[in-house]
Amino acid sequence: MADVDAALGKAGLHNIHVRDFVRRWNELTGAARIEVISESDDARLIDEALAAGEILPAGPGRYYSRSYIKDTARSEERTVVATSNPADMGIYNNWRPAGQMRRIVEERMRGASAGKIMYVLPYLMAPAGSPLERYAAGVQLTDSRTVALHMMRMARVSPRHIDRLADQNRFVRAVHVTGNLGQLQQGTPGDQRLFVTIADERTILHFGSAYGGNALLGKIAHGLRQAAYDGWASGEFLAEQFMLIGISDELTGKRYHICGGFPSASGKTNLAMMLPPAELGSRYRVDFYGDDIAWLRVDPVDGKIYAMNPEFGVFGVAKDTSEATNPIALAAVAPGTGTMFTNVAYNQNTQEVWWEGRTPGPPADLAGWSDWTGALIAERAPEDARAPWAHPNSRFTTTLANVPNIAQDFADPKGVPVDAIIFGGRARDREPLIRAILDPAEAVYDGLTLGAEATFAAEGVDGLLRYDPMSMRPFMSYPEGAYAAHWLKLIRSAASTPIFAHVNWFQRDPQNGRYLWPGYRDNLRPLIWLLRLKEGEVHGKQTPVGIVPAKEELDLRGVAIAAEDLETILSIDARRWLQEMRHREQHLKLFQGLPAEIWQAHHRVAAALSCWDGGREAGR
Ligand code: OXD
Ligand code: MN
């Protein structure tokens, strides 16, 4: 067994609760050696991982890794939130009893790290000094060096975060054990993987993966599931799968912050990293704070809602990231940034990486290229010729500081005051470009009914969305009714309320499927309209589902959009909306104890739609 005291003492980690925690899990998992990690260990770990062949060089200062072929994404069906209180069971949190889950996962972890190093990563999911710091401290144990390297890019890792805790016993205990990936029967009835957050014990136990949110426990398990539970239990904050950006108006000198949630494949990272369109670039600047998580609290001094990105990096989907869609992301993963790519295509001769959408077509010269599984492209069987080179969930991992337009105050422990909260899905019709919502209950109702059209399996099921409340469906850790009540309470306790809006960049021409709005950089235009609406500079048009811009209120200089398309994306199709209201009702009925205000908002919107005569004609 490892000498825990010696390893912790050498690293200057004196917290006795950490020592007991490491000792216990070292005994249970059988790890041969303990290493405490701090940010200064990055270069050494990189060298060791290169020497061991766990990662490969991807040009100067960049690295490449492949995950096990059946370990390429988060697995929602193997993910559980456990507590000791059955009343914590919700629809989406996959609740189980804490005692039972602990026993099962401990059995799977027993002896499973034998012969391996156990890396001890003391981390903080917040800038140091944050008012939410007592919810942000954690110690992750992992038996994978590549997981440690990813974790160091995604969280602030250092023993000093844990040694200077006011309450030395108050840190999230996070244990990651990879397991024998070749024998876990992934995706079968005998699947051995188990990803458990014991929320009322602030303990995270993940077994059976070395990829993404299954293995980097600071990000999703702590940053979202545990933090959402803590925020509710304490009544102090919300933890949401939200991006966060700043918009500066150089003409007026005003600075705004917008955060918001989008179900996956709805363009959240591209929006978070957006640059202004050329015509607006001399007046507006967009700053990046984060693309995936925001914690929201009410500041006791000025009563405003503040948002903070608890992460230290970006774990972005590589697919479709290009100069056209997201030049900022490409700059953030440029040579010298220490970026780790996972499951993209790799060229062993040139150390280049490539993924679908990076360029219009794949590299013409196939020499040296292998796909994400490691198979040489040039040796593919004819029937595999069309298979993607990169896995659709391939990723890049880079630190926030590498993002060229990172906000200067991104590490301000206080976070930033929020002016607007937006929700956005992917809807081919019905949802206008933007609709502002002034009433907080109606806004929370809108967030709870957020969804995105299923992209393939359910395509064609008229009007059917995969609902994803606030984009938190995979991360819910307590019942949805209580979640809605907590949202309402937090917003109402603020002295000033952000403006809310629902956005949709994805309306299509029903005849040929063409997108009606150009998207990407031009998405700044409706957001500026929203901020101007908040300032009282524009008034928009009231509809049953919110305020939409009057055409002339949008700054459309340089946008090539036909008048008819503009009309469509700024209109409400009441017939389609009424269909959707029936689906919403079914969806909301799933949730026990939903506050009456949410139902009232639903009925108010439905009633207003039934007598709305300003929409487009039915049968369009
Ligand atoms: C996710 C992620 O799985 O951000 O949502 O990685
Ligand atoms: Mn996410």
Instruction: Tell me the average pLDDT across 256-264.
Output: 95
pLDDT at 390 over 70: yes
pLDDT at 267 (0 to 100): 87
The confidence band for 463, taking pLDDT boundaries of 50, 70 and 90, is low
202-213 pLDDT tens trace:
999 999 999 999
What's the distance, CA 542 to chain centroid?
32
268-305 pLDDT tens trace:
999 999 999 999 999 999 999 999 999 999 999 999 99
H or E stretch covering 468: none
Cβ < 6 A, ligand 1 pocket: 74, 212-213, 292, 315
pLDDT at 456 (0 to 100): 46
How far away, in angstroms, is 447 Cα from ligand 1 center? 19
CA-CA distance, 57 to 63, in Å (whole number)? Answer: 5
Q: Which two tokens stand for residue 404?
A: 């060229």
Q: Identify the bridge partners of residue 342 per DSSP, sorted by sequence position.
A: 65, 395
Mean pLDDT of the chain: 95
Ligand 1 atom closest to Cα of 317? 6
The confidence band for 465, taking pLDDT boundaries of 50, 70 and 90, is confident
Buried b / exposed e over 406-426, threshold 16 CB at 10 Å, is bbeebbeeebbbbbbbbbbbb
534-574 pLDDT tens trace:
999 999 999 999 999 999 999 999 999 999 999 999 999 99
Dihedral sign for Cα atoms in the order 358, 364, 368, 372 = positive
> CA triplet 318, 322, 327: central angle to 5 degrees?
105
Ligand 1 atom closest to Cα of 74? 3
Ligand nearest to the CA of 314: 1
How far away, in angstroms, is 292 Cα from ligand 2 center? 5
Ligand 1 atom closest to Cα of 474? 5
Concatenated DSSP letters of 136-199: TEEEEEES-HHHHHHHHHHSEE-HHHHHT-SSTT-SEEEEEE---GGGS-TTSTT---EEEEEG
Pocket test for ligand 1, best of 147, 195, 264 (most atoms within 8 A of CB): 264
Q: Which two tokens stand for residue 253?
A: 């000198």
CA-CA distance, 377 to 421, in Å (whole number)? Answer: 45
Q: Whose CA is nearest to atom 1 of ligand 1?
A: 213
Q: Whose CA is nearest to atom 4 of ligand 1?
A: 292
Q: How far is CA 513 from CA 429, 434, 509, in A?
A: 11, 20, 5
How far away, in angstroms, is 213 Cα from ligand 1 center? 6
325-366 pLDDT tens trace:
999 999 999 999 999 999 999 999 999 999 999 999 999 999
How far away, in angstroms, is 110 Cα from ligand 1 center? 28
| Residues 502 and 423 sit within 8 Å (Cβ to Cβ) | yes
Ligand 1 atom closest to Cα of 264? 5
Residues in the chain: 620
The confidence band for 459, taking pLDDT boundaries of 50, 70 and 90, is very low
CA atoms within 13 A on the CB side of 593: 14
pLDDT at 49 over 90: yes
How far away, in angstroms, is 291 Cα from ligand 2 center? 8
How far away, in angstroms, is 196 Cα from ligand 1 center? 17
CA-CA distance, 9 to 21, in Å (whole number)? Answer: 15
pLDDT at 613 (0 to 100): 82
Ligand 1 atom closest to Cα of 212? 6
How far away, in angstroms, is 110 Cα from ligand 2 center? 30
Concatenated DSSP letters of 334-380: STTS--EEESSEEETTT--EE-TTSSSS--S--TTEE-TTS-BGGG-
Pocket test for ligand 1, best of 315, 317, 391, 396 (most atoms within 8 A of CB): 315
Concatenated DSSP letters of 11-65: TT---HHHHHHHHHHHHHH-BSEEEE--GGGHHHHHHHHHHTTSSEE-STT-EEE
Residues whose Cβ atom is located within 5 A of ion ligand 2: 292
419-432 pLDDT tens trace:
999 999 899 999 99
The confidence band for 197, taking pLDDT boundaries of 50, 70 and 90, is very high
